[in-house]
Chain A
Amino acid sequence: MKKLRFATLWLDGCSGCHMSLLDLDQRLLDLADMVDFVYSPLVDVKIFPEGVDVACVEGAVSSAEDEEKLRMVRRRTGLLIALGDCAVTGNIPAMRNVLGGQKILQGVYLEREHLNAQIPASHLPALNEHALPLHRFVPVDFFIPGCPPSADTLFAALGALVAGRAVDLPALTRFGA
């Protein structure tokens, strides 16, 4: 059987979902038997390749750069999975949405900083007004809620997807789980 080309992407999130992936421990080897890791913050590849079968995206979309990356991933990927609450609902990054992008920058970098207070601007992507879940930008094929989804959840969900089996996700995870 041809192995699926598998990728993960890390946008505005704490990387906890990727930690859950690492928490698979020895089952990482089982996963490696099923898929080829062609792109991930966990592997040493710099460019997201064409023809990816499955991509798991962690984190909310918070900046123009996130948005651009996500659209590129969507174009190059067959099955797009929103991995974890930030990608699914916006979650913690979206807690700033009640204030808006400019206000949060001012609050963090100007109002609380007494020494050389400035909003970092050069070489940084512009912050969007709101941090939003993936499906506000591109179609998402599968949602795995959880903060983070546990290693067991990931293994069950990814295993089922690769094998083409149905999976009862609500039994495994939920918002905030």
Chain B
Amino acid sequence: MTQREALQQQAEQRQQVLDAFSHHLLVCAGLGCLHNDEIIKALRKEIAAQGLEQQILVRKAGCMGLCALGPLVLVLPDAVYYQTVTPQDAGEIVAALGKEPVQRLLLPADLPFFSKQQKKVLALSGRIDPENIDDYLAAGGYASAVNAITAMSPPEILRIVGESGLRGRGGAGYPTGLKWATVAQAAGERKYLICNADEGDPGAFMDRSVLESTPHAVLEGMLIAAYAVGAHTGFIYVRAEYPLAVKRLQLAIREAERNRLLGQGVCGTSFDFTVQLRLGAGAFVCGEETALIESIEGRRGTPRPKPPYPAENGLWGSPTLINNVETYANIPLIIARGAAWFAAQGTEQSKGTKVFALTGRIKHAGLVEVPMGMTLREIVFEIGGGIPDGHAFKAVQTGGPSGGCIPAEHLDAPISYESLSALGSIMGSGGMIVMDDTSNMVDIVKYFMEFCMEESCGKCVPCRVGTAQIHSLLQKFCDRQASADDLAALETLCDLVKTTSLCGLGQSAPNPVLSTLKYFRQEYLDRMADPSGPHQEGQL
């Protein structure tokens, strides 16, 4: 029996096991959903008490997305969601199986939060046990990788990824196919693969959720990429602040190795690929690819000047493919369904779907996946359910601490790399923070500038000193001590830091200030000591 057939058999066996149960209870077991362990225990206890172990299977699952109402429990095959479940609800939930659902806990079946989303990357998230490779196999997992490695040539894969139009999900939106082709063509005996899982944006948890929910999908994407570019060693650089993601990745790597999907001779071929974890020590700048590489090499995590780009000169000087978690998670889907399927979703320039972490002043905070091109209004008001407590929408910040704040008048802008950039913001990795009329933009911007100042590595002068100077200027606005000269100095410094900084951290750090100066300038003017007086500085 070939490795391929063995995996096939393993998947079928698991499916048979799963099919034997009349009902499945899937409990969201992400880091953010508290007490999920107790819920699982309570459900199992209840089922055992009623002697239904052969009929009902309780499984832990990845994130189901609606974090604001978590922990969620999904009942299959009924596809009923229960919200804010507690261990005390176990009896009622089990009793209702096959009958009328528990109305008290029921989420409306037609909730736009679920119906408006198009889950592709997140399709298995919340539907399978992330700690069980057989669950992933039974859901069709690793079929793409096995197919790619045993039946496709690297150039064929490069062509498909190129044609799909997939762009890097880490923020900058560089065409993935182009990056892969560069690494594949780069001269060098040794090539490396890196998965950037150092998600550090305040309010962002897309990558954490993908790693916690479907770690094998990320490994599968990496495996296909490694085969396509000719890399034999891969690293996942993940934040140490994501203990559950780390644990599940460790487990997933072990299980994949045991099933000969990683290691020497993957799938019985002569292709070798090993994956190791590297834990980040809490520096935001290590999400920048060259700083991340320095950190893996054991050095202080500071960015290198580019060019040379990692694709030509990366880890230990070798050609290195570095992609974000979500980028890799898209790969198995593209290989399975084809470039045309992927390219049919999204906009002309931005294909596919994008995962966003919707947070802030919004009813249905959580993790959502939408096709590129959906408007901000649909995401905020339909999927997100709008602003709670009768407040009015004020702005949404996309792209993390260095994204721009987009006001209500641009809510109908479609989500894409180009449109967000045209609005003075960025796609970033997918953070989306909603602000309402109680938010003061200067305060918010000061918070983000403080973040950038604290997280600046200090290597280049404009970012190291400029962010600190911008922060003190913003403080003056908050203290109502600012003058017209301060406003001018703020604009000068933002331009300097944006234009001359060494890496993306500094280059994008002024975005919140610049976008709010554009859309909410009056809030700055309102906070000046005397808008007409040229010089009233006095003490620092």
Which residue of A128, A129, A132, A139 is within 8 Å of B535 (Cβ)?
A139
Q: Is A138 an interface residue (CB 8 A)?
A: yes
Q: Which residues of A contact B540 (CB under 8 A)?
A: 129-130, 132, 136
Give the contacts of A128-177 with B (CB-CB under 8 A): 128-130, 132, 136-139
Contacts of B539 in A (CB 8 A): 128-130, 132
A53 is an interface residue with CB less than 8 A from chain B: no
Question: Do B534 and A139 touch across chains, with their CB atoms under 8 A apart?
Answer: yes
Interface of B is mostly: loop
Interface membership of B78, Cβ < 8 A: no
Total count of chain B residues near the partner, CB < 8 A: 6
- CB proximity to B under 8 Å, residues A117-136: 128-130, 132, 136
Q: How large is the interface on A (under 10, 10 to 19, 20 to 34, 35 or more residues)?
A: under 10
A residues bordering B, Cβ < 8 Å? 67, 128-130, 132, 136-139
Residues of B within 8 A of A129 (CB): 539-540
Q: How far is the CB of A30 from chain B (nearest CB, A)?
A: 34
15 new A-B contacts, CB < 8 A, other than A129-B540, A132-B539, are A67-B538, A128-B539, A129-B539, A130-B539, A130-B540, A132-B540, A136-B537, A136-B538, A136-B540, A137-B535, A137-B537, A137-B538, A138-B535, A139-B534, A139-B535
A109 to B486, CA, bound (A): 37
A128 to B537 CA separation, bound complex (whole angstroms): 14
Could you show 17 A-B contacts with beta carbons less than 8 Å apart?
A67-B538, A128-B539, A129-B539, A129-B540, A130-B539, A130-B540, A132-B539, A132-B540, A136-B537, A136-B538, A136-B540, A137-B535, A137-B537, A137-B538, A138-B535, A139-B534, A139-B535
In the bound assembly, the distance between CA atoms of A125 and B538 in angstroms comes to 16
Give the CA-CA distance A169 to B537 in the complex, in Å: 27
Top 10 A-B pairs, shortest CB-CB distance: A136-B537, A138-B535, A139-B535, A130-B540, A129-B539, A137-B537, A139-B534, A128-B539, A130-B539, A137-B535
Q: Which residue of A has the minimal Cβ distance to B485? A: A139
Q: Which residues of A contact B537 (CB under 8 A)?
A: 136-137
Q: How far is the CB of B113 from chain A (nearest CB, A)?
A: 53
Give, as a whole number of angstroms, the nearest-CB distance from B13 to chain A: 72
B contact residues around A67 at 8 Å (CB): 538
Note all chain B residues with C-beta closer than 8 A to A138.
535
